[in-house]
Structure 1
Amino acid sequence: MTRRVQFALFGAVLLTAVAVGYAVFTVTREHTAVPAANALSLAAGPRILFRSTAPDSKGRLALVAMDDPGGPRSVSALSCLRVYAAGGTGTCLRQDGALATFQIAIMDTNLTVQKAIPLVGVPNRTRVSGDGRLVAWTVFVAGDSYNNGRFSTRAGLIDVKSGEMVDSLEFLSVTLDGHPYAAADLNFWGITFAADDNHFYATMSTAGHRYLVEGDIAAHTVRTLAQNVECPSLSADGRRIAFKSAIDGDPAKGWRLSVLDLASGARTPLAETRSVDDQPAWLDPNTIGYAVPRGTDDSDVWAVPADGSGSPRLLIPHAESPAALG
């Protein structure tokens, strides 16, 4: 692949404060920050990690108790555009120091940055495999000749144990509807990992269509499974994928959250009928979490049953990018 974009024109886009330390605070229901008794940890437990959008902690990595998600939150000084964690590994998509560029910071259980990878593009999505070994990211880029200067996406992944990295899924061999496929307009985003540390799912777009693809890291391949599936999120049992789909196949009309049964191909629309432009997250085997904007530069995390029943409920106010640690 020869398509690469130098990133200078994004200097004023989505800038965020850089962490100056790992001081931790507890924020009350009124979002007043006070010192916390213990440092933050990404160890497994009944908690939810998220990015705070509250006025006094905007952009900071934070945690709440699973059984009291609207209650007191512990907030780090670490600022991120997107966050995620699993298996004791955390990710923070953030500004790269004082530069007008970005990076993905990969953290251990104690939020100590173990590796930082420069990103050519504006951070958009990130995921970690269940055991914490694989890390993925998606960025927006601009300037591809085929796209008339509009935004495109790049998605990559790294094995944090071996250091092996796929800089972009565009380097992998593609099979579309059972046939080898190559095109200049291939875009990938929204990676989610299977439990075997080899297979993954993602969205691929080409020729105006968006596909759910299954990838094989060892074989360096991806193959299409279904159409109109975006930002997939695989359940812990590996049987279901939560996703957003364009209404009537047209993103201009917004997106609807659904769950796909991989064995049968059955799709279950969820009770959330608002347009949701997010990669949903499994908070437990029966619950999907996602962000809904509230005004400008603010959002809330909502939750909805994964079987299509019930109704949406506000889970964490002034929050986005949720990840269940339990």
Structure 2
Amino acid sequence: MSDEKSLKYNEPWILQRADPYVYRHTDGSYYFTASVPAYDGIVLRRAGTLAELSGAEEVMVWKKHESGPMSYHIWAPEIHYLFGKWYIYFAGGEAEDIWKIRPYVLECSGDDPLTDEWVELGKMKRAAEDEFSFEAFSLDATVFENKGEYYYVWAEKVGVGKMISNLYIAKMESGNQLKTVQVLLTTPDYDWERKGFWVNEGPAVIHHDGKMFLTYSASETGVDYCVGMLSIDEDADILDPRLWKKERYPVLKTCEKLGIYGPGHNSFTVDEDGNDVMVYHARTEAEINGDPLYNPNRHAMLMKVKWDEAGRPVFSYENK
């Protein structure tokens, strides 16, 4: 049974770790990775329980290059076990062009991702007939499985000026190759997705009772950062954007009363008893010193995911 007393919900769990991602492996062990404040590499930690992750040793498994691709702004890593191997998906820029953010892939064929070798596979590969994906600012890739197929979802900017960050989806052929042309899932339609910047990013998927729910983050990374949601039936055509239902309002946002500001860029896992848990980052101060992107005080937090009578997730700070 999980040790409820040692887990703290909706308060800082792992300090200064933004874009937190938790994966529970088939052997029951938990892996944690996140963006580190220096944006200079990828860290992993492993533990037998969620509670133990906060104190687990952190290992830098990969460091940024000195120049060229993958040499600046190493962001939002996720670790997945797919096609019989370990993969880390992350985004990175170039020292010579720090906003040339693109999605990259690392692969580990060994059993232990903390100690075995990680091989760089370069940029994620789009489908042969796809001329558009990963040509512009692209980041925050996640992978999910449905009915034996793997899907890749990412954020990419389009347009001119400040540009607009949309979410796209494609089916995967392998760990670093897409099988289908990109499909637009969501663009910032509403006012709460357009604060500071027009942004949809940070996708994460959770399954429940025959349905899938895809959360994402919206607006700039300060107090206006919040979480939106799409949903679809598992039996539907996942690549038909018309079948995804988008929520009109955010499902999680700043709570001044509790001192939780700008929640977002979440992932999902389960505790040792199989209960669903959202892992997200948030700030504990309303006023941010300097550029929000370079302020280190985005902390990883946990929230219990409850389910209503209609089988929909309820994200509430009251979920203790």
**TM-score interval, smaller chain:** 0.5 to 0.7
Contact 2:141 2:202 survives alignment (8 Å): yes
Give the structure 2 partner of residue 118 of structure 1. Answer: 63
What TM-score results when the alignment is normalised by the length of structure 2? Answer: 0.53
The one-letter code matched in structure 2 to 1:118 is K
What TM-score results when the alignment is normalised by the length of structure 1? Answer: 0.53
Q: Distance in 1 between matches of 2:298 and 2:228?
A: 20
* 1:205 Cα offset (Å): 0.8
Q: Does 1:211 align with 2:193?
A: no
Give the structure 1 partner of residue 89 of structure 2. Answer: 137
* 1:130–1:305 distance in 2 versus 1, CA, 3 Å: farther
The one-letter code matched in structure 1 to 2:7 is P
Count of aligned residue pairs for this structure pair: 240
Q: After the TM superposition, which residues 81-230 of structure 1 pair with which residues of structure 2 at under 5 Å, given as runs? A: 82=20, 84-87=22-25, 88=29, 90-92=31-33, 101-105=40-44, 116-119=61-64, 120=70, 121-129=72-80, 133-143=85-95, 149-150=98-99, 152-161=101-110, 167-173=121-127, 180-181=131-132, 184-194=135-145, 199-208=150-159, 209-218=165-174, 220-221=177-178, 223-225=181-183, 226-228=185-187, 229-230=200-201
* 1:104–1:154 distance in 2 versus 1, CA, 3 Å: farther
* 1:156–1:91 distance in 2 versus 1, CA, 3 Å: farther
Give the structure 2 partner of residue 291 of structure 1. Answer: 281
Unpaired runs of 5+ residues, structure 1, are: 1-44, 47-64, 317-326
Q: Output one character per residue of 1:162-186: Cα deviation in whole Å (capped at 9) or x when no partner.
A: 97966344433376xxx64366425
* 1:109–1:166 distance in 2 versus 1, CA, 3 Å: farther
Contact 1:302 1:315 survives alignment (8 Å): yes
Q: Distance in 1 between matches of 2:120 and 2:171?
A: 12
Q: Does 1:232 align with 2:232?
A: no
Within the candidate set 266, 277, 281, 1:279 is matched to: 266
Q: Output one character per residue of 1:14-67: Cα deviation in whole Å (capped at 9) or x when no partner.
A: xxxxxxxxxxxxxxxxxxxxxxxxxxxxxxx64xxxxxxxxxxxxxxxxxx357
Contact 1:169 1:188 survives alignment (8 Å): no
* 1:137–1:130 distance in 2 versus 1, CA, 3 Å: closer
The one-letter code matched in structure 2 to 1:313 is Y
* 1:260 Cα offset (Å): 2.3
Q: Distance in 1 between matches of 2:214 and 2:140?
A: 15
* 1:101 Cα offset (Å): 4.1
* 1:294 Cα offset (Å): 0.5
Contact 2:226 2:250 survives alignment (8 Å): no
Give the structure 2 partner of residue 242 of structure 1. Answer: 214
* 1:270 Cα offset (Å): 5.4
Percent identical across equivalent pairs? 5
Q: Distance in 2 between matches of 1:159 and 1:231?
A: 24
SS state of the match for residue 173, structure 1? coil
* 1:187 Cα offset (Å): 1.4
Q: Distance in 2 between matches of 1:286 and 1:84?
A: 12
* 1:100–1:265 distance in 2 versus 1, CA, 3 Å: closer
Contact 2:151 2:172 survives alignment (8 Å): yes
* 1:85–1:190 distance in 2 versus 1, CA, 3 Å: same
Contact 1:242 1:258 survives alignment (8 Å): yes
Contact 2:106 2:120 survives alignment (8 Å): yes
Q: Distance in 1 between matches of 2:278 and 2:47?
A: 25
* 1:207–1:298 distance in 2 versus 1, CA, 3 Å: closer
SS state of the match for residue 233, structure 1? strand
The one-letter code matched in structure 1 to 2:218 is A
Give the structure 1 partner of residue 195 of structure 2. Answer: none
Q: Does 1:267 align with 2:246?
A: yes
Within the candidate set 308, 311, 317, 1:313 is matched to: 317
* 1:141–1:116 distance in 2 versus 1, CA, 3 Å: same
The one-letter code matched in structure 1 to 2:93 is V
* 1:272 Cα offset (Å): 1.9
